[in-house]
Structure 1
Amino acid sequence: MDIILCDELLQEIFHRLPPPPSSAVSLVSKRWRRLLRSSTSSLTLRLSHHHPYPSFPSFLSDHTHLNSLTITTIISDHLLLSISGNCPNLTHLNLSGGSVSLHALLSLSTSCPLLNSLSLVLSRPVTSLRFLSSFPNLKAINLTLVGNTSVSDHFISSSTEEELLNLQSIHLSGIRPGDYAVNFLWSTCNHKALSHLGFQNCEGVGDYYYSFSTFIKGLQNLNQLQLKTCRSIITLILLNLADNPYNSLSSLLIYDGANKESLLHFLRETNCNLQKLDLRLPLDLDDSHLFEIGTKFNRLNVLRLQSCCMVTGEALKTLGLALTNLEELGLTNCDVINGQTGFLVELAQNLRNIKVLDLSYNHTLADKEFALMISSFCNLRKLKLRGCSRLTNVSLVSLCKNCQRLESVDMLYCNGIQEEGVEFVILNSAELRNLRVEDRKLTEAARRWMAHKFIEVQS
């Protein structure tokens, strides 16, 4: 067999193998190992930091077509220089395991000119981000700052003569007051190019508020904005974004910290046309925000609300009347479901186009209400019921009866659902392709049917 198959055919077979079998290919023969490595385009490595990786350059040099590399362990300059010398075709590099030096990054920019996506961890004090200009094709930067910082350590001035960065995506983590180097992004990023902007665990934006405000107001094609645990800066961002004269923002995600007034101001004043809204704001989202969403964004097609403790069933029903185009609805760990029986049924009657529904971790959701609600969702493709512990096999009968086009179901941690119910779903869902359920709930018959119907199971 090894002699009959040519290199190209073997490589094509390797590409089609799922992950577990593919990892054993290199053990068959030296030829198979060489062909596997030379045809691999993406690698994720977790290297031991107890030795200096003597064989690492040789290992990389065998991967001649490598264009995406992720390393999740501590990064050294020696390691980064090995990447620079052996991976000239890299387009994506993720160094999430630790901080890297600017010297090694400059070497990387020279040796890997095709690099367009870069994820880095830098240790404070960071005096400058001008090294980003050395990457000619850079389109996406994911930057995390770690360590102690001093506000008065360094004063970074931004030059208007810097060449524009044509970044399409910026994601920043751990920015604090005093991280003046971040201002380089606001002064050099091309306002027309940026489409994705994200902040996570950030308490500052570089501290030149005028520069940042001007940057936000001038973004012409911003499509997605993510704000996770950024209470200190969210008012600054939302107020300036509301004044942006362009209306390109279509996706907004805010988790774990907002300001009620600034969020309400943004919803009222922005002229953007949101298509996707994802909010996890237990104490900062109330009925006034939902009423404004229903009034302003009636073309919304994705709405996800997590841990919505301060909203009522009446507000959600009113919102449902306005969002007739909605295709995805998430109500995760929603107190109103636990406290107001019946409103889900009325909500569902106005949302006939739902294809994706997430009701995870609603521990009091019962069979009767679920059955009445699910009867309105005949177009449902994907359903998440994870952690809905009161649901039983009765709910699955209603699900299969009403949702004939179901492709994916998540039933993990649903203690009331037993083996018979899981088997019933497998047998009576013609288009089911993905199932998440505990392994102990799968009978031998269920496993045979899954293999016959090509259903993937995840536990």
Structure 2
Amino acid sequence: MDTILCDEVLQEIFHRLPLPPESSSAVSLVSKRWRRLLRSSTSSLTLRLSHHHPHPSFPSFLSDHTHLSSLTITSTTTSNISDHLLTSISGSCPSLTHLSLSTGPLSLYPLLSLSTSCPLLSSLSIILSRPLTSLHFLSSFPNLKTISLTLVGNTNTNTLVSDHFISSSTELLKLQSICLSGIRPGDYAINFLWNNCNYESLLKLAFQNCEGIGDNYSFSCFIKGLNNLNQLELKTCRSIITLILLNLADNPFNTLSSLLIYDGGNRESLLHFLQETNCNLQKLDLRLPLDLDDNHLFEIGTKFNRLHALRLQSCCMVTGEALKTLGLALTNLEELSLTNCDVINGQTGFLVELAQNLRNIKILDLSYNHTLVDKGFASMISSFCNLRELKLRGCSGLTNVSLVSVCKNCKCLESVDMLYCNGIQEEGVEFVILNLPELRYLRVEDRKLSEAARRWMAHKYIEVQS
């Protein structure tokens, strides 16, 4: 077989087959020829480095991947190896379009070299250190669409302030996605983004663990002028969330369709945004244990009755009555997530009424509601005949009885997650496999899969996911 197939045919086979990592390793061991052809046909590569410096053969290894367009590198060491890696990448991967380096921090000169050697780069995820004097190097990437920046180290405001006054570029950045992490007060180099990003192109804006935003005035002008922003994510950003939400509410062109806020909000600014914005939210994802109450839910039901996805995590301050009222308004809802919600643990019966008003739900997530029991769950699940995906992870109060109700009422289920459900046993897993004709993905502990269950899964092409 090895002599019959020419290089081009083998390359085409390797290029078309989405080989998992373990299969790729096996293929590379067949012969040197197969290893060379496999590398030359690989377009996406993820590497995890465990040593302090790249191996001397690392550039040669990268050069063998002539079709490489996406590269992700992580490291188990905290030493600074990123500059060496970037130098190797710049000289070996001219066709690269996506690069993610979770090692760091990087220096300016290797980044400038990267922009010259990899002109097709459209997505870049990197770590930079303080003091950060400039982001002008971004202008050197002509095709850059997605940027993810993480800042580390101590803040030196005296060094950073200078860029506050000179952050301008001759050509606007055509970024579609900006993701920032670790921004602190005094990181004024970030203003380069607010002053030089094309308002028309930006679609996604994300902040994580951020305490600053650069210059407030520059950012306010920027966010009020965004014409096509449709996705906003705020994770652990309590210090800046009021500024962002108030300015976004004043945006006359508000096209936001997806909003995510985790671990740090402000009740008043969130309520003001919900009341004043003219956007048409389609997806709302909130994890605000102490900052989300019934007033917000009533406003959501009043303002966003076309919402398609609602995800609430750890909602300690909301009541079952508010959720039932919300269910009456959101008749178009297709995804509902109530994860680790005290209202489920403390108010029995409301789930049944909620389910009766949400019959279009296709994705239901009730994970980590430890007091959810068979009787209440069975009563509500009978209303979800169109369900495609069900997540019950960590619902330790459910038993095999609940799975009988699932199989009876949800014949269209394609994916079920029942990891860490201590009350569900091997027999229940077998029952699900045999009685859900559309099931394709199952998440369950390996010890709960009998030999018979494994055979049935193989016959029905059901995949176990961790």
1:93 touches 1:115 (CA, 8 Å); kept in 2? yes
- TM-score, length basis structure 2: 0.97
What is the alpha-carbon distance in structure 1 between the residues aligned to residue 169 and residue 443 of structure 2? 54
What is the alpha-carbon distance in structure 2 between the residues aligned to residue 312 and residue 63 of structure 1? 56
What is the alpha-carbon distance in structure 2 between the residues aligned to residue 282 and residue 85 of structure 1? 49
* Residue 189 of structure 1 pairs with residue 197 of structure 2: yes
- TM-score, length basis structure 1: 0.98
Per the alignment, in what secondary structure is the counterpart of residue 59 of structure 1?
A: helix
Per the alignment, in what secondary structure is the counterpart of residue 103 of structure 2?
A: strand
- Cα deviation, 1:400-439, whole Å, max 9, x if unaligned, reads 0000000000000000001110000000000000000011
Counterpart pick for 2:258 among 251, 256, 260: 251
Aligned counterparts, 1:16-27, within 5 A: 16=17, 17-27=19-29
Alignment-derived partner of residue 442 in structure 2: 435
Alignment-derived partner of residue 129 in structure 1: 135
Counterpart pick for 1:323 among 313, 320, 330: 330
Q: Aligned-pair distance for 1:159?
A: 4.7
Aligned counterparts, 1:254-273, within 5 A: 254-273=261-280
What is the alpha-carbon distance in structure 2 between the residues aligned to residue 168 and residue 152 of structure 1? 31
Q: Aligned-pair distance for 1:330?
A: 0.1
* Residue 242 of structure 1 pairs with residue 260 of structure 2: no
274 and 441 in structure 1: CA distance in 2 versus 1, 3 angstrom threshold: same
What is the alpha-carbon distance in structure 2 between the residues aligned to residue 231 and residue 116 of structure 1? 31
What is the alpha-carbon distance in structure 2 between the residues aligned to residue 297 and residue 80 of structure 1? 46
| Paired letter, 1:50 | H
Please give the root-mean-square deviation of Cα atoms over the aligned residues, in Å.
Answer: 1.1
Q: Aligned-pair distance for 1:98?
A: 1.3
Q: Aligned-pair distance for 1:20?
A: 1.9
Per the alignment, in what secondary structure is the counterpart of residue 303 of structure 1?
A: strand
Q: Aligned-pair distance for 1:449?
A: 0.2
- Cα deviation, 1:11-49, whole Å, max 9, x if unaligned, reads 344342333222211111001001100000011112233
Alignment-derived partner of residue 69 in structure 2: 67
1:65 touches 1:89 (CA, 8 Å); kept in 2? yes
Alignment-derived partner of residue 158 in structure 1: 166
| Paired letter, 1:143 | L
Alignment-derived partner of residue 5 in structure 1: 5
What is the alpha-carbon distance in structure 2 between the residues aligned to residue 384 and residue 288 of structure 1? 28
Alignment-derived partner of residue 91 in structure 1: 97
Percent identical across equivalent pairs?
83
Q: Aligned-pair distance for 1:51?
A: 4.3
Instruction: Kindly tell me the number of residue pairs found equivalent between the two proteins.
Output: 458
- Cα deviation, 1:357-399, whole Å, max 9, x if unaligned, reads 0000000001011111000000000000000001000100000
Per the alignment, in what secondary structure is the counterpart of residue 104 of structure 2?
A: strand
Q: Aligned-pair distance for 1:71?
A: 1.0
* Residue 349 of structure 1 pairs with residue 356 of structure 2: yes
2:323 touches 2:354 (CA, 8 Å); kept in 1? yes
What is the alpha-carbon distance in structure 2 between the residues aligned to residue 242 and residue 305 of structure 1? 22
| Paired letter, 1:115 | L
What is the alpha-carbon distance in structure 2 between the residues aligned to residue 159 and residue 29 of structure 1? 54
Aligned counterparts, 1:51-450, within 5 A: 51-73=53-75, 74-155=80-161, 156=163, 157-160=165-168, 162-206=170-214, 208-450=215-457
Q: Aligned-pair distance for 1:50?
A: 3.4
1:75 touches 1:95 (CA, 8 Å); kept in 2? no
| Paired letter, 1:111 | S
Per the alignment, in what secondary structure is the counterpart of residue 72 of structure 1?
A: strand
2:167 touches 2:189 (CA, 8 Å); kept in 1? no
What is the alpha-carbon distance in structure 2 between the residues aligned to residue 367 and residue 108 of structure 1? 57
What is the alpha-carbon distance in structure 1 between the residues aligned to residue 20 and residue 414 of structure 2? 21
What is the alpha-carbon distance in structure 1 between the residues aligned to residue 317 and residue 248 of structure 2? 25
| Paired letter, 2:459 | H
1:252 touches 1:276 (CA, 8 Å); kept in 2? yes
Per the alignment, in what secondary structure is the counterpart of residue 231 of structure 1?
A: coil
What is the alpha-carbon distance in structure 2 between the residues aligned to residue 92 and residue 164 of structure 1? 21
52 and 383 in structure 1: CA distance in 2 versus 1, 3 angstrom threshold: closer
What is the alpha-carbon distance in structure 1 between the residues aligned to residue 27 and residue 347 of structure 2? 56
- Cα deviation, 1:305-349, whole Å, max 9, x if unaligned, reads 000000000000000000000000000000000000000000000
1:158 touches 1:187 (CA, 8 Å); kept in 2? no
Per the alignment, in what secondary structure is the counterpart of residue 336 of structure 2?
A: strand
| Paired letter, 1:269 | E
| Paired letter, 1:144 | T
2:287 touches 2:313 (CA, 8 Å); kept in 1? yes
What is the alpha-carbon distance in structure 2 between the residues aligned to residue 154 and residue 375 of structure 1? 59
Alignment-derived partner of residue 44 in structure 2: 42
| Paired letter, 2:63 | S
Gap regions ≥5 residues in structure 1: none
2:426 touches 2:448 (CA, 8 Å); kept in 1? yes
Per the alignment, in what secondary structure is the counterpart of residue 183 of structure 2?
A: coil
What is the alpha-carbon distance in structure 2 between the residues aligned to residue 45 and residue 310 of structure 1? 43
What is the alpha-carbon distance in structure 2 between the residues aligned to residue 38 and residue 30 of structure 1? 12
